[in-house]
Amino acid sequence: MSTNPRQLGKYELRERLGSGGMAEVWKGFDTQLHRYVAIKIMHANLQNDPEFITRFVREARAIASLHHPNIVQIYDFQTVNPSESSNSLAYMVMDYVEGQTLAEYLRHSSGLGKSLSATDIVNLFASISRAIDYAHRHDMIHRDIKPANILLDKRNTTNNPMGEPILSDFGIAKLIGVASGTVTGTWLGTPMYTSPEQVQGQPGNVRSDIYSLGVILYEICTGIQPFRGETITAIALQHITTTPTAPDLVNPDIPPALSKVILRCLAKDPAARFGSASALTAAMASALNVPIPADIRVASSSEDATYPMDAPTVLVQEPGISQSRAMSSPGATPVQVAADSTVRSTSGPHAGQGSLETPVGGRPAISSLVDTGAEGATLLTTPAPPTAPAPPSTSVPGKRRRGLFIPLIALVILVVLGSGVGAFYWLTHSSTPTVGTNQSVGHVFLLSSGQVNEQSSQGINDELQIDLHNLSNPASGKAFYAWLLSDKKVTEASSILLAKLNVTNGGAQFNYAGDAQHSNLLASYSRFLITEEDASPTPIAPSVDRSTWRYYSELAQTVNPVDNFSLLDHLRHLLAKDPDLEPLHLPGGLDIWLYRNTQKVMQYSGSAKDCYQSGQTNCLRKNVIRILDYLDGKNYVQTDVPPGTPNLVDPRLGSVALLEFDPQNQNPPGYLYHINKHLQGIIQAPGATQDQRQIAAQIDKAINQVTSWLQKVRTYAKNLINTPDNQLLSPGSLSLLNDMDTQAGYAYSGQLDPATNQTQGGVLQIHHNIERLATFNVTAYTSS
C-alpha cells in the first residue's frame, strides 16, 4: 500500500499492483463514480519517443473499442503534457478485476496437489479463445499473451472454478512501439511466451498469439515451459532455433494427440500453426475427449481446411541450445490429461538435449487424471520419483534464423552480468576439437531458413552462422573478411563475401542470410576462409596472395577408393542433392525426404484414429493405405494391399520407400538404408573429424531404431488393411490403431526410455544431427 496516495485527475492512486518494463499498474479509486479501477501508467522513459503520445491516443482508442466479457474493458485514457507536469504522462483506466492472475494460480498450485482437469483446461481455453478471436476479428493483435496477463475473476466461477479468465494488456506492445521498432534497448515482450517472428523483430500477427497460447498450454500440461534459460538471450535463441521436447516425453500421461496439438501451436513457421484460437481449443478438446463447446465448434469448423495434411512440410530448426543448464519453471504443476482410467506414475521432466536441472525444492509432482465419465475428473497426485543424476549433455551447434543478429543487440543489453558477446559464445559454442596440432578457433554452421520448396533444394542450408573466438586482431588499416569458396577442383572457382568481420575481445559472430533465392550453399561451396586485407575499399574476391589468408576450414574432399566418395560427396547426397533422387524430381538430398515422409506417416496415423472415432471406415482405410504408400514405396506397396488398390499419395513423393525390402535389387534404395550407407561412408572418409565420425555413429544407431519402429507401423497397417469393414470399428482395430500411432510417433520424435530416462532419437533428431555433420571447424591457416 502506498503511504503517499497520488492523484491523477479524478482518480486516487491507492496501491501499486505491479511494475514492469513497459508500465506500472495501480489500484485506483474513481472519486466521482465511487468505484475501484485499475490504472496503467506508461513509464516516462518510453515517452521520450516524440511520436509516443500520438500513438498512445490512437492505440488506446482501438483498445477501448473492444467490448468482450473476457477482455478487460478500458473506459478512459488521458495524457498530461509538459505544461501540466514536469514529464509527459499517459495512462489508461480500466475495470479492476478482483482475483489472481493465471500465473499466480499456477505458481500457488505447484506442489500442493492442485491442478486442472481436462474439462477445466478446455473451459479455460474456450473463454480465452473467444476473447482472442473477437479481438482478431477487430484487427487487434495482443502480442504479449502470458499467464500474468490473464486475470481470473473470482466473482465469476460459473464456467471456470479458478475464476473466469479476463485478458489484459491487449495491444500494449504495439502501443509503445514494438511494431515500428521505435523502442530500443528494451525487451517488449515476455521472452518465455514470445513467438520466433517477434524475437526476430517482426511485429507479430494472429498466429503469434496462437504461439503464445501454445506455450501456456505446454506449461499447464507439463509443469515446465518449453524454452528455459538463465538469460533473456538464451530463451530468445531457443524460440528461434530449438525444437521443443514433445510434451508427452516430459509428461508421458499426456495423450499423443494433445502433444501434437501443442507442437502445432509451437511451429516455427506461423503458417503451420492453427489459424484461430477456437481451432486450437477445438483440437485440444478432441484430443482430450472433452465435448467441444458449441460456439467454439462453429468458429473452428472451417479453419483446418487451410492446413491440408499433404501441405508442404515445414522445416523445424536445430535444437541449438543445450538445455542441461535450463531451469524448470517454478510455476505450474503438470497435469495428467490421459483419457483412460489408469493412474500412472511418471518420471520427471526430460529434455531431448541433455537433462534439466531440478529446481529448488525438487521436481514437481505430476498429477494423474482419472476420467470418470462425469462432468469433471478426479485428480490423484503421485509422488515425484527420485531425481536421477543428470547425464553429460551433448552440446549442439547453435542455429539462428534470418534477421536475428540485429534484434539480439537489444536483447543483450538486458542480459545480467554483462553477458554481451561472451554470453552469445557460451550459448552457441560447442566443444572445441583440434585438427592435428592446429587449435580450433570456432565453427561455421550451415543453417536452413525453412523457406522450402518441394520442387527445389531452396531453403535448405541456405544460411550460415559464424561463431569464432581466440582470434588475433587485424593490423592497423586492415580488416578481416569472411568468404565461402567453391571446391578445390573446379573449372571455374567462385566465392561469396560473407562479411567484414568485427573482432571484439577475440570473438566474431555473424549470421549470413543467404541470397534472395534461398540457394543451398552446400551444393556449390565447401570451404571457409578469412583473409586480412585493406579495410577500404572492400575486396570483391579473396586475395590470391596466400600470405593474407588467416583462418581456414574445408569439408574434406579426398576420395575414399573403397566407395569412390569423399566426405563432401556424402554430405551433398544427404543435404543437397542425391543422384538417385534427382531423376525422380526429389531435390534437396536424402535427409529432407526422410524427414518429410516420416512426418506424413505420423500424421496419417493420427488421422486414421480420428476416422475410427467418427465411425468412418472408408476414411480410416484410405489413411492406412497412405501410410503403406510411404513405407513401401510405389514399387512394393502392392504386396501389402488388396489387389487393385490405387496409390493414394503423389507418385513422385511415394517413388522411394522409407523401408528396405531387397538390398540387392531395390532401386532406388529405401531412405533409411540409403542414409545408413552414407553414414558408414562418413565414418570411413579421409579427413572426417572425430566429431563427424561420432555424430555419424550416433545417427546410425538412431536409424536402426527408427527402422524398427516403422517396421512395426507397417505390421499394424497391414493387419488393418486386411481387416473386413464390419470389423474395422471393433475394439481390436482400435488397439491396432493406438499401437500404430504410438510407433509412428516414436519414429518421428523419439521415445523416452523408462529404464535410462533418456530419449531414443527419432527422425527429428536424425534430421538435426545430419545437419550438424556439415560444420566447418575453423583453424589458423597453414599452407600445405
Say whether pLDDT at 555 is over 70.
yes
- The SS3 call for residue 149 is helix
Per-residue confidence band for 297, with pLDDT thresholds at 50, 70 and 90: confident
The 3-state DSSP class for residue 61 equals: helix
> Contact at 8 Å (CB) between 337 and 373?
no
- If one compares 398 and 486, the residue with the highest pLDDT of the two is 486
Tens of pLDDT, residue by residue over 625-666, are: 999 999 999 999 999 999 999 999 999 999 999 999 999 999
Mean pLDDT confidence for 739-744: 92
- Using the 3D structure, point to which of 96, 125, 160 is the last residue of a domain: 96
pLDDT at site 459: 85
pLDDT class for 27, splitting at 50, 70, 90? very high
Give domain status of residue 569, yes or no.
Answer: no
pLDDT bucket at 376, cuts 50 / 70 / 90: very low
Same domain, 64 and 44: yes
DSSP states of 491-510: SS--EEEEEEEPPBTTBEEE
Q: 45-49, 538-542, 616-620: which range is least confident on average? A: 45-49
- pLDDT tens figures, 476-490: 999 999 999 999 887
Quickly state the pLDDT bin for 511 (edges 50, 70, 90): confident
Of 85-89, 223-227, 496-500, 677-681, minimum mean pLDDT range:
85-89
Tally of domains in the chain? 4
Residues 281 and 335 in one domain: yes
The pLDDT of residue 373 is: 32
Is residue 695 scored above 80 in pLDDT? yes
pLDDT digits (tens, 9 = 90+) for 455-464: 888 889 989 9
179 pLDDT more than 60: no
pLDDT at residue number 171: 62
Average pLDDT rounded to a whole number, residues 705-727:
95
- If asked whether residues 115 and 232 sit together in one domain, one would say yes
Report if residue 249 sits inside a domain.
Answer: yes
Domain at 333, CATH number? 1.10.510.10
Among 53-67, 382-396, 476-490, top mean pLDDT goes to: 476-490
Q: How many CB atoms lie within 10 A of CB 536?
A: 8
Whether 760 shows a pLDDT value over 90: the answer reads no
Phi, psi of 672 (to 5 degrees): -65, -45
Alpha carbon separation from 610 to 249, 257, 300, 621 (Å, rounded): 22, 10, 17, 12
CATH number, domain with residue 524: 2.60.40
Least reliable range by pLDDT among 189-193, 308-312, 414-418: 414-418
Tens digit of pLDDT for each residue in 317-335?
433 323 322 323 333 445 4
Query: Which helix (H) or strand (E) element contains residue 677?
Result: helix 671-684
Q: Looking at residues 5-26, what average pLDDT do you find?
A: 81
Q: Tell me, what's the pLDDT at 381?
A: 27
What average pLDDT does the segment 729-741 reach? 94
Identify which of 20, 159, 112 has the alpha carbon closest to the alpha carbon of residue 332: 112
**Burial category of 218 from C-beta neighbours within 10 Å (exposed 0-12, middle 13-18, buried 19 and up):** buried
Residues 244 and 124 in one domain: yes
Q: Which residue has the higher pLDDT, 401 or 94?
A: 94
Q: What pLDDT is recorded for position 20?
A: 64
pLDDT in tens, 94-135: 889 989 999 989 887 743 334 688 999 999 999 999 999 998
Please report whether residue 276 resides in a domain.
yes
Q: Residue 566 falls within a domain, yes or no? A: no
Residues 108 and 128 in one domain: yes
pLDDT surpassing 60 at residue 3: no
Locus of grid cell 475428473: 377
Q: For residues 334 and 385, state if they share a domain.
A: yes
Cβ-contact 213, 280 below 8 angstroms: yes
- The pLDDT-based confidence of 754 (bands split at 50, 70, 90) is low
Please indicate, yes or no, if residue 590 is contained in any of the structural domains: no
Mean pLDDT for the stretch of residues 724-735? 93
567-575 vs 590-613: helix crossing angle, rounded to 10 = 30
pLDDT of 784 reads 62
Task: Report the Cα 556 to chain-centroid distance in Å.
Answer: 32
Assess whether 67 and 108 both reside in one domain. no
Which pTM does this prediction carry?
0.54
Quote the pLDDT of residue 419.
31
Q: Mind listing the pLDDT tens digit for each residue in 514-552?
A: 898 889 999 999 999 999 999 999 999 999 999 999 999
pLDDT of 743 strictly over 80: yes
C-alpha cell at 305: 481446411
* Residue 340 is assigned to a structural domain of this protein: yes
At 392, the pLDDT band (50, 70, 90 cuts) reads: very low
Q: Do 361 and 214 fall within a single domain?
A: yes
pLDDT at 568 over 90: yes
Q: What is the pLDDT of residue 347?
A: 30
341 lies in some domain: yes
Query: Which CATH number do you get for residue 33?
Result: 3.30.200.20
Among residues 390, 412, 430, which one ends one of the domains?
Answer: 430
Considering the domain architecture, whether residues 20 and 65 belong to the same structural domain is answered as: yes
144 is catalytic: yes
Helix (H, G, I), strand (E, B) or coil at 300: helix
Give which of 241, 227, 141 is closest to 190, Cα–Cα: 227
Residue 244 has pLDDT above 60, yes or no: yes
pLDDT tops 50 at residue 248 = yes
Q: What average pLDDT is seen over the chain?
A: 77
Compute the average pLDDT of residues 43-69.
Answer: 71
Is residue 192 domain-shared with residue 320, that is, in the same domain? Answer: yes
Instruction: Tell me the residue range of the domain where 542 lies.
Output: 431-554
| Residue finishing a domain among 69, 96, 123 | 96
Closest listed residue to residue 423, CA positions, set 507, 499, 501? 507
In the structure, what pLDDT confidence band is assigned to residue 269 with cuts at 50, 70 and 90?
Answer: confident
| Residue 573 or 358, more confident | 573
**Sheet order of strands, 35-42 included:** 6-8, 11-19, 23-30, 35-42, 89-95, 74-80
User: 195 near 173, Cβ under 8 Å?
Assistant: no
Please report the pLDDT score of residue 558 as a whole number. Answer: 95
Residues 368 and 469 grouped into a single domain = no
Q: How confident is the model at residue 556 (pLDDT cuts 50, 70, 90)?
A: very high
Residues 460 and 372 placed together within one structural domain of the fold: no
Q: Is the pLDDT of residue 66 over 80?
A: yes
Query: For residues 348 and 728, which has the higher predicted lDDT (pLDDT)?
Result: 728
> Does pLDDT of 282 surpass 60?
yes
Residue 783 within a domain: no
Contact in structure between 49 and 61 (CB atoms under 8 Å):
no
Cα 754 from Cα 382, distance rounded (Å): 17
Contact 469, 442 (CB under 8 A): yes
To the nearest whole percent, how much of the chain has pLDDT over 70? 74
What's the whole-number mean pLDDT along residues 764-778?
91
Among 95, 120, 144, 462, which one carries the catalytic annotation?
144
